[in-house]
Structures are given as structure tokens and as C-alpha cells.
Amino acid sequence: MEHIRDTRHNFTEIAASLGFPDSATFTRFIRRQTGYTPSEFRQRLIH
């Protein structure tokens, strides 16, 4: 969760640093786990 909360990095960079093959796979994973896109989830974590 810290990776997503850190706004210095975009989701492509986060996906790569976590070992996902691409940002689309990362987005699907986050959506399945949380019900939100990475952007939506980040907003919920920040506010």
C-alpha cells in the first residue's frame, strides 16, 4: 500500500517495481483486490 500512497511514482513504475509484467496487469490485480482502480484506491488512501 505504501507504493500506491507514494505519489512521486506513477503506476507503471510501481507495477514494474513490484514485478508485474505491465501496468494493465497491475491495474487488474488492484481492482480485483480492492474494487477500485489504482487511481481511485490512491485517492481513498490519501483522503
Q: What is the pLDDT of residues 1-47, one digit of tens each?
A: 788 988 899 999 999 999 999 999 999 999 999 999 999 999 999 88
CB-based contact 39:4 (threshold 8 Å): no
pLDDT of residue 13: 96
Largest CA distance in the chain: 29
Residue 5, C-beta contacts closer than 8 angstroms, at least 6 positions apart: 42, 45, 46
Query: How much helix, strand and coil, in percent to the nearest 5, is found in the chain?
Result: 70, 0, 30
**How far is 22 from 12, CA to CA, in rounded Å?**
7
Question: pTM of the entire structure?
Answer: 0.85
Amino acid identity of residue 44, one-letter, is R
Class of domain 2-46 as given by CATH: mainly alpha
Domain map of the chain by residue range? Answer: 2-46
